Amino acid sequence: MPQLDAKEVAAVFSGPFHNFLMMRDEPRGEDDSSLPGDPTEWYDGTWTNWNSTWWRMHHFFVPITNQKVTKSRRKSIDQSAAVDELENQEISMGLTRYKVFGMTARILVDAARVAYAEEPHFEHNSHFGDEDMIARLQKIGRFKETRDPEDELTPEVFEKASKLT
């Protein structure tokens, strides 16, 4: 099962929602000079070929201010050591922003587009969500009611689905 990144969750809920349409931090009504980093460090994005379709990979860098980050309970000595090492790296690297990217960022961009009835100030996929690819995968027998543990979604499966009309 995927594990949530506590820092990404903190960033998602502390970054101003409208900013997920912007290329730089917008003024927040507080003393912006107290925010770590430069406002231009907010956004970066690239186009990538994801499963035979062009997909915009968004990277947002939310300033660390007073977010409380609750990390999951440590279930083993190894996990505890790994968490401690990551926390020490954050401190030693002077981490000033949390990164929000991938599917999380895509959902935030789409949600902000709907909420504000605005288009982003950066390149983005024009369509909302990935229903088209999901429908194509269903046509070739994917997304059954029960999942076969031996059945994997491979690049070849996505390639086959992308050729359907």
pLDDT at res. 18: 93
Same domain (yes/no): 77, 94: yes
| 1: in domain | no
Same domain (yes/no): 65, 142: no
Same domain (yes/no): 79, 148: no
* Average pLDDT, rounded, for the chain: 77
Q: pLDDT tens-digit profile of 38-84? A: 777 899 999 988 767 788 999 998 887 765 555 556 566 766 676 66
pLDDT at res. 129: 78
Domain span at residue 34 reads 6-127
pLDDT at res. 6: 66
pTM of the model: 0.66
**Tokens for 38?**
């430069």
Name the pLDDT band for 29 (thresholds 50, 70, 90): low
Same domain (yes/no): 50, 88: yes
Same domain (yes/no): 121, 65: yes
Name the pLDDT band for 118 (thresholds 50, 70, 90): very high
pLDDT at res. 108: 93
Query: Which DSSP helix (H) or strand (E) runs through 6?
Result: helix 6-14
